[in-house]
Structures are given as structure tokens and as C-alpha cells.
Structure 1
């Protein structure tokens, strides 16, 4: 099992089918919180839905030649959320980061640390040139992460996502490999 330790209490690891119940419980316990910005929450109504999502995630590794597109964020021995590099474009050497964190794990610096580690992997191991993050314009917590990490705000996409009964605008943030290397110094 892939395991990447970031701190004593924080690591990434691959999902297994045994995680389905814990993932579902995390979603269910954070349902109202997550639903504000994640359009898939209402489609996760039972453990089987989380199991199917994990199967899809694991299948994604086959499609990327062994790179996991989404991993579990483990904090103090519990699954706290997920993070991944999506839409990896090998020709243009670019990808985007997607993430979510259970409500009870907010405010501990978990996602900023997780994004930083994933960016190191993307830029240094996968040799990506560009990584982007999109967040709903009104999602200040999610937008704070790329801002803390030195991303450049690149634009505003109007009505980028349908969330249940309304559209939300997105802000796009980007980081280039050379900027990340300079930011790390």
C-alpha cells in the first residue's frame, strides 16, 4: 500500500475497499457542510456508493499507468478527506488538484500541508509544468489554500458549476514549476 508520511500525524495512502464505511461515515457526518460546495454529496446515500467510488478511484490507477489520481488523507489514524491530481495532461505536463476535508478536520492546516506535498510530487516526480486549483468564488476556506501556497489567481469562470439548484462561479489559481521551486527556497 502506498503511504507517504508528511508529519507524525498526517499522511497520504491509497484507498482500499475496506475504507468504504469510514469514507461514507465521514461524508455523512459532514453532509451539510460538504454539500455547500460539492455536487456529488446527495448521490452518496449508502456505504455501497463510497465503495463504488473507491473502485473507480483504484481503476484510475490502471488508466494512469500506476499513478493514483486520488488518495486518502490520514490524520491521527483517521481518514480526514481526499486529495488528488486530476486531468493529468502528459503532453502539456499539467494537472489540477481537487480536494475535500471532513468538517471536523478543518482549521488544522491539514489541506495546506497535503496540497504542498502533492505539489512537490507533481512538480518533482511527475515533472509537471503547471498545476491549477479551482474553487467556488464564495468558498473562502478552499480559496485560502492556493493563496497561502503562492498560487497566482488567473481568472474567474462564471457559472462554472451547477450545485443542486444554482450555478456558482469559480476562481482559477495556477502555479508553474519554476514558481514553485522559487517559492520553496
Structure 2
């Protein structure tokens, strides 16, 4: 899309492609959400968007993507990549920041269709956006946060070399729950072979960065 080059931005890894979703991709992404993204009775998200009927979960997913497109500015941006594995949309991997040209800090967040858990996909898609953050956008730090009982997310974070960065207590569906914060400085990031960023230069002005 000539006037919004983010739709041409993608990241490829040995097994995955991360891209902004097309409308057809959004339908498939909604299907993944409707199928389920976590076990019943457990909530890994601060905002419980997944705690609704499958049809509404699919619609929530599509609307969230539309909001991220419409609210994107250089001062406050969010890119929600559709993750493609073996020709299927399997989840989303987000990267977002505020005042990035000055602060050079990016946050990440993701979800993966439940039937694709346990295959190392979550780790690989996080590595992909870290590659974008550090190698592509020149980030100084990447940060993330997860509930203390979200063992899968915590496992990925620790595997990738993040450092503990404190805790926060949240109200999760009426109960206090602790999240752990993590920070990955650029000097502790290890570049992975086979990870490539495509069509980034024309997108840099949208992030407030020079080409």
C-alpha cells in the first residue's frame, strides 16, 4: 500500500513469517482466537478480552487490529504482526513503544492459538520482533511483563536473556495478582541466524526515524 508502507513490512525466521495481516488474514486470526488461546479457567491477560464467547472473541481480535492501525503515530505506536507457520495464521506478536525516537525502548506482547503451544513458536516469534527492535529500529532496551502464573511466557522471557526489572500488583478479575517485569538491554541481546527484516526503510519515517 503506497501511502501506508507498514503493510509491506515483514520479518522472516527459519520457520515463521510475521506480517501485518490482510483482511483475509484477519478472518483466519479471528478463527484462531475463537478456537481458544489458553486453558479454560485461566486468564493470562490483564484485560480479559478472551473471556467471552468464541464469536465475540474473534470480533475482539479483528477490532483490536483495526485500532492499532488507526491509532499509530510516531509518538505512540503499536505493530501487531500476524504470525504465519506452515501456511497458517497461528497468533499475533506485538511490538509497541511511546516516544521511541528519544527513549528507544520497546515493549512486546503476544498470543498463540492453543493448539500451537509447546512447539517453540512463541520463542521464535519473540526473537523476530526483538530482531526488528534492535537490528532494525535501533532500540536500547526491550521490556515485557507477565503474570507470575504465566509460566510459558516467563519461560520464553528468561530463555532470551531478559533481566528482572521489578513487580507490579494488578487487579485480575477481582483478585490481586503479581506480574513480573523484565528488561533486555541491547548489549545482552544475541542476534539469531536466519532472521531477516523486509521493506523496513520506507517505514522508518512512520516510526519517527530517519531512513
Any idea what SS the aligned residue of 2:179 has? strand
Distance in 1 separating the partners of 2:112 and 2:184: 22
- 1:150 corresponds to which of 155, 158, 161: 161
Structure 1: distance between partners of 2:186 and 2:118: 27
Pair 81,46 (structure 1): closer, same or farther in 2 beyond 3 Å: closer
CA change 1:179–1:41 in 2 (3 A) is same
Q: Equivalent residue for 1:5? A: 12
Cα distance, 1:88 vs. partner?
Answer: 3.7
Aligned to 1:41: 50
How many angstroms does 1:68 deviate by? 5.9
SS of aligned partner of 2:79: coil
Equivalent positions of 1:132-143 (< 5 A) are 132-143=143-154
Higher mean displacement: 119-128 or 48-57: 48-57
Q: Is structure 2 residue 104 aligned with structure 1 residue 98? A: no
Please give the per-residue CA displacement for 1:101-131, whole angstroms capped at 9, x wherever unaligned: 1111111111111111211110121111010
Does structure 2 conserve the Cα–Cα contact (< 8 Å) formed by 1:37 and 1:163?
Answer: no
TM-score, length of structure 1 as denominator length: 0.84
Shift in Å, 1:70: 1.0
Q: Give the CA deviation at 1:40.
A: 1.3
**Contact kept? 2:106, 2:139, Cα under 8 Å:** yes
Change (3 A) 1:122 1:88: farther
Pairing partner for 1:75 from 62, 85, 109 = 85
Matched, 1:26 2:36: no
Match of 1:112 among 123, 127, 151: 123
Which residue, 138, 141, 160 being the options, matches 1:127?
138
- C-alpha deviation, 1:31, in angstroms: 5.3
SS of the counterpart of 2:126?
helix
Unpaired stretches in structure 2, ≥5 consecutive residues: 1-7, 193-211
1-structure distance, mates of 2:112, 2:129? 15
Structure 2 CA distance for partners of 1:78 and 1:143, relative to 1, 3 Å: same
Q: CA RMSD in A?
A: 2.5
Match of 1:164 in 2: 173
Equivalenced residues, count? 179
Q: Structure with the greater relative contact order (CA < 8 A, sep ≥ 6): 1 or 2?
A: 2
Structure-2 change in CA distance of 1:170 and 1:57 (3 Å): same
Alignment check: 8 A CA contact 1:153 1:172 kept: yes
Following TM superposition, the consecutive aligned residue runs of length 4 or more in structure 1 with deviations greater than 6 angstroms are none
